[in-house]
Structure 1
């Protein structure tokens, strides 16, 4: 069975928390990362950006992480950048583009 690679790195840049996701954000991987990501977002309480440049798959579990982060940063709005077209479509189909800034 091939090893499935996924990770997230965090960096604070110019007053924003940037979360760099990499790999498959399927249900299993997203579930493993959910608490960690949410802890970073809650701890910082600053505008948050999810960079999805290196993400090659997303599941509804990953959308759940995005929803939780968007609610936590409501006043500042969560920003999604560098998402593949199929991921952007998922945000639009689910209506999540109304509560997040999808670039």
Structure 2
């Protein structure tokens, strides 16, 4: 079931977490542990690909902050962010705090 929410793949010296669909609280709770375990076991820089996400709840922002803390800002990227989701990141202050680009 979590493959319907996030696809995690290692490639080109990065761990890519491609999210699918709305990242509401329930869906975030279903995948948070899997994401954290994958990041810890890989030891690679992390990319969150948000290409297929049009909604992100505060629980997703918590995942972003947790991953950033684990891997460090220099080894973490969030890419392909929908304008509506980017607005949530900016309103929360996370976009500027993590120096996200795009």
Q: What is the TM-score normalised by the length of structure 2?
A: 0.87
2:88 corresponds to 1:85: no
User: How many positions carry a matched residue from both structures?
Assistant: 99
Instruction: Please give the alpha-carbon distance, in whole angstroms, between the structure 1 residues aligned to 2:72 and 2:6.
Output: 22
Q: In 2, are the aligned partners of 1:77 and 1:101 still within 8 Å (CA)? A: no
Q: Which runs of 4+ in 1 moved over 4 A?
A: none
Q: Which runs of 5+ in 1 are unaligned?
A: 1-5
Q: What's the CA shift for 1:75?
A: 5.5
* RMSD (CA atoms): 1.7
Deviates more, 1:85-94 or 1:63-72: 85-94
Q: 1:29 to 1:20 in 2, by over 3 A?
A: same
Indicate the residue corresponding to 2:10 in structure 1.
Answer: 12
Residue pair 2:54, 2:84 contacting (<8 A) in 1 also:
no
Give 1:99's aligned residue. 98
Distance 1:75 1:27 in 2: 24
Q: Unaligned 5+ residue runs, structure 2?
A: none
Q: How far is the alpha carbon of 1:76 from its aligned partner?
A: 3.1
- Relative to total residues, which structure has the larger strand share, 1 or 2? 1
Q: Which whole-Å CA distance do the structure 1 matches of 2:43 and 2:63 have between them?
A: 16
- Per the TM alignment, residue 79 of structure 1 is displaced from its structure 2 partner at its CA by 0.6
The 2-side partners of 1:86 and 1:75 are apart by: 23
SS of the equivalent of 1:46 reads coil
